[in-house]
Chains A and B, each alone.
Chain A
Amino acid sequence: MTPNDSRPENSVMDDSELDRRLDALTRIAEPPPDNWTAIERRIRKRRWPKALSAGLAAAAVVAGIALVVLQIGPTPVSSGGLAETMKAEVQAMRVAAPETPAASDIDSPASLMAAWQDNQQAIAQLEQALEHDPDNRLLLEFLTEARMRQARLVRSIGLNQTPNNERSMNL
């Protein structure tokens, strides 16, 4: 055994010295100057309320189904009639709000799951409606959008998974 082997403890800092140095570390710094500008740019985008998101999806489904019912009903609807008005309303809804919320707006696993389930329900209803009217282009468009939204949600859920919630989200 060498002299160095016999005194490793002596060369190691003691706990109180480590605590003193840790306590003395800087706790508050000047905020990064450019960061606020970047944050401001990101939050300036209009927030997409979750309730509106679900409401819009539901409204779109109801409008789509109503359109189908009107088109297959006993009384033909004129091209300038209610169906056209409804179509215009639906288009206006699309223009008034983005087609899907940003992932950061609904990025908690629970919110993402809820959005996914809402969207899944909408897809099922659209598919059902399309069985009655396979050539309805508006319904097909809705279905395509809903499926794309679903793909984005699945991706967001995948990105937001943590070891804690992976077990509860078997997608």
Chain B
Amino acid sequence: MKDMDATVAQAVPAASTDAERVEAARGGDQQAFSGLYQAHAGRLMTVLWRLAGGDRGLAEDWLQDAFVQAWNKLDQLRDPAAFGGWLKRLAINIALGEKRRGRLISVDVEVDASAPEPPWPAADLDLERAIARLPERSRQVLVLFHLSDLGHAEIAELMGIETGTSKAQLHRARNLLKEMLA
């Protein structure tokens, strides 16, 4: 990892903004793109791991897919400075889309009740595990609202549900968490 950081630092000045990196990456500069990965992957990973219900492999697959899609679609990004938000939506769409497709094959697979371990030093392991045990829809809304800073309108759009449903799922998730953590 340190080697890669050094390579990135050489290719892209430390003060490079997302916009500068995006412009360079559009021209095929993979090192500039790795700078974008360094800047955003850590934040995305925490969201994706929680959306995946604590499945680290799945979260890492989604993270990879998000960056590969971002690379392929960089030309479609109108405002390079908005890369972070655009990438987040890409990643969330991948995560939610895969869950929807998965449901067509195996209907409502029971949430793994084992105790997942976050791939980072957990500040509150009990809460992390309680979130992972939430029913899928409720967990998705809670993670997007509280841990990805999205509003109900945006969550509803991403999940293909009504705004009221998003609010109801959040209410349900919070109540379940309070009961689990009591």
Q: Does B146 contact A (CB under 8 A)?
A: yes
| A–B Cβ pairs within 8 angstroms, 19 of them | A11-B182, A12-B178, A13-B177, A18-B178, A25-B46, A27-B43, A27-B46, A28-B43, A28-B46, A29-B42, A29-B46, A29-B118, A30-B1, A33-B1, A39-B64, A43-B33, A47-B71, A104-B68, A108-B73
Which stretch in B15-23, B106-114, B121-129 binds the other chain? B121-129
Contact B46 A32 (CB under 8 A): no
Q: Which of B21-71 contact A (CB under 8 A)?
A: 30, 33-34, 37-38, 41-43, 45-46, 60, 63-65, 67-69, 71
Residues of B within 8 A of A (CB): 1, 4, 30, 33-34, 37-38, 41-43, 45-46, 60, 63-65, 67-69, 71-73, 97, 100-101, 118-124, 127-128, 146-147, 160, 174, 177-179, 181-182
Cα of A13 to Cα of B124 in the assembled complex, Å: 15
Beyond A39-B67, A163-B160, whether A25 also contacts B147 by CB under 8 A is: yes
Cα of A108 to Cα of B177 in the assembled complex, Å: 36
Q: Does A159 contact B (CB under 8 A)?
A: yes
Contact A43 B46 (CB under 8 A): no
Beyond A39-B37, A43-B30, whether A27 also contacts B160 by CB under 8 A is: no
Contact B37 A25 (CB under 8 A): no
Contact A26 B121 (CB under 8 A): yes
Contacts of B38 on A, CB cut-off 8 Å? Answer: 31
- What 0/1 readout, one digit per residue, does chain A (22-42) give for beta carbons within 8 Å of chain B? 101111111111011011101
- B92 smallest CB distance to A (angstroms): 13
Which of these, A31, A108, A159, A162, contacts B42 with CB under 8 Å?
Answer: A31
Contact A39 B68 (CB under 8 A): yes
Beyond A43-B71, A44-B30, whether A31 also contacts B37 by CB under 8 A is: yes
Contact B181 A26 (CB under 8 A): no
Q: Taking CB as reference atom, which chain B residue is nearest A46? A: B28
Contacts of B160 on A, CB cut-off 8 Å? Answer: 162-164
Beyond A36-B34, A163-B100, whether A30 also contacts B178 by CB under 8 A is: no
Cα of A38 to Cα of B118 in the assembled complex, Å: 21
Beyond A32-B45, A162-B100, whether A26 also contacts B72 by CB under 8 A is: no
Cα of A38 to Cα of B41 in the assembled complex, Å: 13
- A13 smallest CB distance to B (angstroms): 4
Cα of A15 to Cα of B174 in the assembled complex, Å: 8
